Amino acid sequence: MLYALCFLLFMIGLYCAVVKKNMVKIVIGLAIMEYAVNLFLIMLGYRAGGAAPIIDRTYLEAGTDKVTASFINAAVDPLPQALVLTSIVISLGSLALIIAMCIRIYGKYGTFDITEIRRLKG
């Protein structure tokens, strides 16, 4: 059920990126699509009633064999969280590139409307 809502968010972003004519609205649609994908990846590693995947001193004092049994059975998956953190920063970089292109197109054509940017000017 929650995965269907995540897919709905992705579809909203796709609608914005495809239908809208203003360039800034297209960029916002792309950003919403990236949020939906990151949310989906984090939701894949979730466990109902799980603890945060951080090992502290109370875990280690019980002994290493008990650490693996009690930690693995009780914590959420930390690997999707680490990869999504990387992905968020990378999407920030690509968003900066897209915004820079929008600024340069506005400086050259004087409008944000993509139906008026047809010809490649000198």
Partner 1 sequence: MIMEQGQQNPGILDKGRTSNGAKGMTVIVKTVASWVKVLIFLFGINIVLFGHLTPGGGFAGGVILASSYVLLMLAFGREFAEENLPLPLASKLDCLGAFMFALIAILGVVFGGSFFLNFLFQKYLPGQALHLVSAGIIPLCNIAIGLKVGASLFLVVLVLSVSCKGTDCRFE
Q: Please, which residue, 5 or 111, has the CB nearer to partner 1?
A: 111
Residue with Cβ nearer partner 1 (21 or 104): 104
Rounded to whole angstroms, the Cα distance separating 111 from 122 reads 17
Binding site for partner 1 (CB under 8 A): 54-57, 60, 82, 85-86, 88-89, 92-93, 96, 99-100, 103-104, 106-108, 110, 112
Compute the least distance from the CB of residue 18 to partner 1, in Å: 22
- The nearer residue to partner 1, 23 or 32, going by C-beta atoms, is 23
88-113 b/e with 16+ CB inside 10 Å = b?
A: eeebeeeeeeeeeeeeeeeeeeeebe
In degrees and rounded to multiples of 5, residue 52 shows phi and psi of -70, 140
